[in-house]
Amino acid sequence: MFTISFKAIDNFDEIKQMSAKQFDLTKQDIEGIIELDFNGSKYGMFFDDCPFGNERLIRWFVDLLTIVQKIRIHQYVAYRIPDSANLWLEFKRQGVELQVSLVEDIDNREVILDLFITEPNEEFRYSNWNGVNVSSASFTEEIMKNAHQFLDFVTDLNPDILQSTSIQILQEKLTDVKRLTSKRTYFAENVDYEG
């Protein structure tokens, strides 16, 4: 099972007063906390009474949706964790399952600048946990559900910033993933398989 827990922790009074343009110029993101739980193997942190948060939530959701898109095309995707020099989440597609690991880039000679790579890196070594299996469908559904909840939160906070560039990118990614998911569901339900 895969779950996401998140909470926005930012200057809400300031954000409530912003136009989309002001948000684009001064904030670009909403800070908070996020925890990804892959069958008990976790990255991040979440607890209700946390007074601070420095994770960029819009970026996290855009990147998680990007992982969903990429893992449909590639058997392997590694994602460099935001603001980390050497920690990555590694995803290996195995049929309807994803095998997920937290890995470290141990090569000090050259930093990989890409956020996503689609070929295994021989300089990766397993970190705190590895080889956790989660359903690809539940992974996608959980990301979509939480991205919707985050957008609902933004709508309640200040609907004007839904027109900001970063929120528009998030909405477009979510729409693309929904389209991919509905196509897969349609074909699974309507294609007649005859041998």
DSSP string covering 22-39: HHHHHTSS-EEEEEEEET
Q: What is the pLDDT of residue 188?
A: 44
Q: pLDDT (tens digit, 9 = 90+) per residue, 20-65?
A: 999 999 999 999 999 999 999 999 877 666 656 789 999 999 999 9
- Asked whether the predicted pLDDT for residue 66 surpasses 80, the reply is yes
What's the confidence (pLDDT) of residue 125?
86
Contact between 161 and 23 (Cβ < 8 Å): yes
**When comparing pLDDT for 180 and 163, which is higher?**
163
On whether the CB atoms of residues 180 and 91 are closer than 8 A, the answer is no
Distance CA 132, CA 102 (A): 9
Predicted local distance difference test score (pLDDT) of residue 180: 84
> In the prediction, which pLDDT does 108 show?
54
Residue 86: what pLDDT?
A: 84
- The tokens of 191 are what? 């294609």
Token pair for 49: 């009474």
Distance between alpha carbon 79 and the CA centroid of its chain, in Å? Answer: 9
- Determine phi and psi for 113, rounding to 5 degrees: -85, -20
Cα 109 to Cα 103: distance, rounded to the nearest angstrom: 17
State percent of the chain over pLDDT 90: 69
124: pLDDT confidence band, cut at 50, 70 and 90? confident
Express each pLDDT in 98-107 by its tens digit.
999 999 887 6
Which pLDDT belongs to residue 34? 94
- Quote the pLDDT of residue 185: 47
Total residue count of the chain as it appears in this document? 195
- The mean predicted confidence, pLDDT, of the chain is 88
Output the pLDDT for position 106. Answer: 77
Question: What is the Cα–Cα distance from 152 to 162, expressed in whole angstroms?
Answer: 10
pTM: 0.89
Q: What per-residue confidence (pLDDT) applies to 109? A: 44
- Tokens 């600048």 identify what position? 113
Q: Whose structure tokens read 């007074």? A: 51
